[in-house]
Structure 1
Amino acid sequence: MDMKLELVPIPVSDVDRAKAFYTEQLGFNADLDQRFGETFRVVQLTPPGSACSVCIGVGIVDTAPGSVQGLHLVVSDIRAARAELVKRGVEIGEVEDMTAPGKPTVSYAAFKDPDGNGWTLQQLPY
């Protein structure tokens, strides 16, 4: 049986501000922005090349804005990806290379969305 993770809800305090961050600064595609009255709005956003999307909105989840941590965006060239995000105004940490004896290097660079939800660029040793 296949199981595919295709949507991760992200709690935010200001949907329009978050949508602008994810689309304009991170380069995510805005797949859907639908309102169902005043109490429900769903915005689905997909990172370029990803089969999994995130959704933000009103009435989506009851968790506090900024409470999601540790989401990974896997990239093939972390230094180029980080440089692009810096150009787009994202505050992102330096690249950290994690290595252990006899193991290939995995690299990370962390950042947060405007609400404090935590993301990490990750480069795997392919």
Structure 2
Amino acid sequence: MIPQPPTGYIHVRARRGQATDSHSIAERVRREKISQRMKLLQSLVPGCDKITGKAQVLDEITNYVRSLQYQVEFLSMRLALLNPTLHDLDEECSGGLLEQQLQVNYKQQLLHFLYCRTVYH
């Protein structure tokens, strides 16, 4: 008669050189999850799949996210500038002062966006 393993017991076969104790198994599972998430992040960021080091990958991802934030800021400023209801409110309230301020902010955002785009790409 062959002895049966206890219930609730997970039998793990380790590859050569790998330990089978629960801490080692948990660490291996954790590293595998991290590896899968890094691969997912690399697939989301253009050009990031060619980078090998984790620190370099994370740097590239943070730079990409920053550039996306700048693009969102730029586009929201542009939308605010082109929004007709805001333009009507501007004419009623200040006689063009708000529009001038938006144009200045728009130009600053545009310059900042172009600068960041050249720095990060």
Give the TM-score category using the shorter length: under 0.3
Query: Whose strand fraction is larger, Structure 1's or Structure 2's?
Result: 1
User: Does 1 or 2 have the higher relative contact order (CA < 8 Å, sep 6+)?
Assistant: 1
Task: Please say which structure displays the higher CA radius of gyration.
Answer: 2
TM-score calculated relative to the size of structure 1: 0.22
TM-score where L is the length of structure 2: 0.23
Q: Which has the higher helix share?
A: 2
